[in-house]
Amino acid sequence: MLYDLSDRMQTNDFADLEGTKVLARDLENDFQVAQSAGCVLCGLAFHAVEEESAIFPSAASVGNGLVPLLIEEHHDLSRREVEIAEDAHALLENPGATERVAAGVRLNQKVNELLVAYFTHMNREEVELVPLLREQFEDAQQGAWQASIVRSFPPDRLMALLAWMLPAMNVTELAEFLGALQRLAPPPVVTAVTNLAAAKVPGPRWAEARNRTGL
């Protein structure tokens, strides 16, 4: 999602008002439409909600100040996301293409700063939090956190997230995911996710994943 956000921002022609309206709408950080597949910023924002509800209450007991720092970073990321969505809408009010292009440059810079903060945060979670959780909690507990996050998703939001996740996996990850899905999920879910993967995953990778899983 972050790479896609960067690509969208860097290739948008801010002189083109109609195209820029589409970009601003897709960035919309409106939590009422958080289930929309097109909402980039709200998809990012939900990362914090899920972690703070499912994982952080337990992690805080062993984290030595790490969890409060991660929560502080979540708040900082949310502030940046809201500001970018607001700036994108304000930019549309600019009367001329020259002003919009100048505002677009500033918006790009803010998005670049968000990307730096977001990657730094996620790396901290991978480098500091994940090893701590693996050391301090049983696999079953970690599986329960994961299940509770997945169960909390409305189905359309889950499918919207999978539309991002499936094409972002390498072929081994994809085959493992689809294999687990075949073992654990009801047939209609397997069909729905398989159809989504067929639509979203690049052809050769999808063909290899199908080959490995027998789908």
Applying CB under 5 A, the residues found at the interface with Fe ion are 51
Least separation in angstroms between residue 131's CB and Fe ion is: 15
| Closer residue to Fe ion, CB minimum distance, 64 or 191 | 64
| Gap between the Cα atoms of 14 and 99, Å rounded | 9
Residue nearest to Fe ion (CB): 51
CA angle 103, 106, 108 (to 5 degrees): 110
Least separation in angstroms between residue 39's CB and Fe ion is: 18
Least separation in angstroms between residue 153's CB and Fe ion is: 17
| Gap between the Cα atoms of 150 and 158, Å rounded | 8
Structure tokens at 143: 């599986």
Q: What is the DSSP string of 28-74?
A: ---GGGTT-TT-HHHHHHHHHHHHHHHTHHHHTTTSTTHHHHHHHHH
> CA-CA-CA-CA torsion for 71, 115, 159, 154, nearest 10 degrees?
30
Least separation in angstroms between residue 72's CB and Fe ion is: 11
| Closer residue to Fe ion, CB minimum distance, 52 or 176 | 52
Least separation in angstroms between residue 199's CB and Fe ion is: 29
- At which residue do the structure tokens 């998005």 appear? 111
- At which residue do the structure tokens 């994108």 appear? 88
| Gap between the Cα atoms of 151 and 36, Å rounded | 18
Structure tokens at 66: 């790490």
| Closer residue to Fe ion, CB minimum distance, 28 or 51 | 51
Least separation in angstroms between residue 56's CB and Fe ion is: 9
Structure tokens at 24: 């601003």
